[in-house]
Amino acid sequence: MPPESQGIHLAVALDGAGWHPAAWREPGAAAATELLRGRYWVDLVREAQAGLLDFVTIEDAFALQSSHWDAPDDRTDQVRGRLDAALIAARVAPVTEHIGLVPTVTTTHTEPFHVSKSLATLDYAGTGRAGWRVQVGGRGGEAALFGRRVLPRVVSPDLADPATLKLVAELFDEAADHVEAVRRLWDSWEDDAEIRDAATGRFVDRDKLHYIDFSGPQFSVRGPSITQRPPQGQPPVVALAHATVAYEFAAKSADVVLVTPHGEDSIAPILAEISTLRAATERAEDPLLVFADLVVFLDENEAGAVARKSQLDAAAGAEYVSDAQIFAGTSHDLADLLAAWSAAGLDGFRLRPAAIPHDLNSITRDLVPLLQERGLFRTEYQHDTLRGQLGLSRPANRYAAA
């Protein structure tokens, strides 16, 4: 575990009405119109904060949700449409105090300069609680929304296909450049660049603003940023990874990597591969936290949880499947699983509530107390920043004179 570890780290992934496509139809779910209102997201994040969770991630993408990999499905019985994740986080930041806010921001069709100042602004709004879940956008329909590039159509996300693997590798290489440019922009203002000397009329020390002069195949960025260095210096970068090509990106660029083991036996090989890849990067000495993703259906007994999933599957017209392992059971059983997987070497977990509010409330009100009773989870927030909660120190500015 990283320095200053406080046991298991725990996060939740927020996506509309929940991760099951029929979650909006479950009794107690918010009306569809609520998903587009700020107060809905404020309530969810406040609930996560009441459970003392490290952070929430907020899902986002440029294309509409779809049951097809690379095309719209024209379904009208599932949630379609969403708000911008970074703007949701900005809405929530002033009315929360402790929990980290980690919006999903796609690199493929965005500019590093815009992303850097957006997330720096979020870090100021949240007084040091911003993060960034990096995502690539390989669907051809997304590229068509912008008209600046043409991506080959990928009919399947199967990385065994050479054409798919080539495209994905190129997108992750671009994402690594994007993250590096953003990190440099965050450092382009030294911490004490703003001097505010009314007597001399000097607001900034221009020698402490730096050109970053980053150049890559897809973009070049001169800098400096127009936003001062974020309160955390570098808001944590989070990456979801399922295979080697994504592990390589996370090892090079991330502070937290979200992995998807299917069973305890698969944890050690994943950790070993990521550790080897990290050791070969320039960031080998920096901590890299590894969280496992789980989709959770929780109830008072296992039969009830399984029945809930079956009912939602029937409403959706198909069995729900996921890239992450699906857990259907009690909070006690989930606590047992998290304890065992943590002992196998994981730093934490990102839980995806299958249906909101039911499964989110079960996490914060049932699972968390059980983990606390076992001494596996904090009983209060002990740090003011997301980096602090994760046990990550505030990094030095790369451009500051020693």
Q: What is the pLDDT of residues 17-39, one digit of tens each?
A: 999 999 999 999 998 889 999 99
- CATH number, domain at 264? 3.20.20.30
Kindly state whether residue 173 falls inside one of the protein's structural domains: no
When pLDDT is averaged across residues 355-383 and rounded to a whole number, the result is 97
Taking only the tens place, the pLDDT of each residue in 261-304 is: 999 999 999 999 999 999 999 999 999 999 999 999 999 999 99
Given this model, what pLDDT does residue 223 score? 94
| Distance of alpha carbon 297 from alpha carbon 299, whole angstroms | 7
Taking only the tens place, the pLDDT of each residue in 205-223 is: 999 999 999 999 989 999 9
Given this model, what pLDDT does residue 1 score? 37
Kindly state whether residue 218 falls inside one of the protein's structural domains: no
Given this model, what pLDDT does residue 318 score? 94
- The answer on pLDDT for 152 being more than 60 is yes
Cβ of 212: how many Cβ atoms within 10 Å?
25
When pLDDT is averaged across residues 188-205 and rounded to a whole number, the result is 92
User: Can you read off the two tokens belonging to residue 152?
Assistant: 């080959």
Given this model, what pLDDT does residue 28 score? 92
Given this model, what pLDDT does residue 4 score? 42
When pLDDT is averaged across residues 227-234 and rounded to a whole number, the result is 98
pTM equals 0.95
When pLDDT is averaged across residues 332-341 and rounded to a whole number, the result is 98
3-state secondary structure of 258: strand
Name the phi and psi angles at 32, rounded to 5: -55, -35
Cα Rg of the chain (Å, integer):
21
The more confident residue out of 148 and 39 is 39
Band of the pLDDT at 6, cuts 50, 70, 90?
low
Residue 261: partners with Cβ closer than 8 Å, 6 or more residues away: 267, 270, 292, 325, 341
Kindly state whether residue 334 falls inside one of the protein's structural domains: yes
- The answer on pLDDT for 155 being more than 70 is no
Given this model, what pLDDT does residue 70 score? 72
Taking only the tens place, the pLDDT of each residue in 68-92 is: 777 778 888 889 999 999 999 999 9
Which domain covers residue 324, as residue numbers? 9-145+236-306+318-389
164: left (phi over 0), alpha (psi -120 to 50) or beta: alpha
The b/e string for 39-56 (b: 16+ C-beta within 10 A; e otherwise) is ebbbbbbbbbbebbbbbb
Kindly state whether residue 399 falls inside one of the protein's structural domains: no
Kindly state whether residue 70 falls inside one of the protein's structural domains: yes
Given this model, what pLDDT does residue 402 score? 60
Average pLDDT, the chain: 93
Q: What is the DSSP letter of 316?
A: H
Domains of the chain: total: 1
| Distance of alpha carbon 184 from alpha carbon 229, whole angstroms | 10
Instruction: Judge contact between 126 and 93, C-beta under 8 A.
Output: yes
Given this model, what pLDDT does residue 2 score? 40
| Distance of alpha carbon 316 from alpha carbon 274, whole angstroms | 36
Which segment of 13-17, 78-82, 377-381 scores lowest on mean pLDDT? 78-82
User: Can you read off the two tokens belonging to residue 278?
Assistant: 């990290």
What proportion of the chain, given as a percentage, has pLDDT over 90? Answer: 82
Given this model, what pLDDT does residue 144 score? 81
User: Can you read off the two tokens belonging to residue 274?
Assistant: 């990521």
Residue 87: partners with Cβ closer than 8 Å, 6 or more residues away: none
Cβ of 153: how many Cβ atoms within 10 Å?
15
Kindly state whether residue 385 falls inside one of the protein's structural domains: yes
- The answer on pLDDT for 120 being more than 60 is yes
Instruction: Judge contact between 18 and 297, C-beta under 8 A.
Output: no
Kindly state whether residue 209 falls inside one of the protein's structural domains: no
Given this model, what pLDDT does residue 156 score? 66
Kindly state whether residue 231 falls inside one of the protein's structural domains: no
- The answer on pLDDT for 5 being more than 60 is no
Given this model, what pLDDT does residue 32 score? 80
Residue 56: partners with Cβ closer than 8 Å, 6 or more residues away: 11, 12, 13, 14, 44, 45, 48, 99, 100, 101, 102
- The answer on pLDDT for 241 being more than 80 is yes
- The answer on pLDDT for 338 being more than 70 is yes
Given this model, what pLDDT does residue 148 score? 80
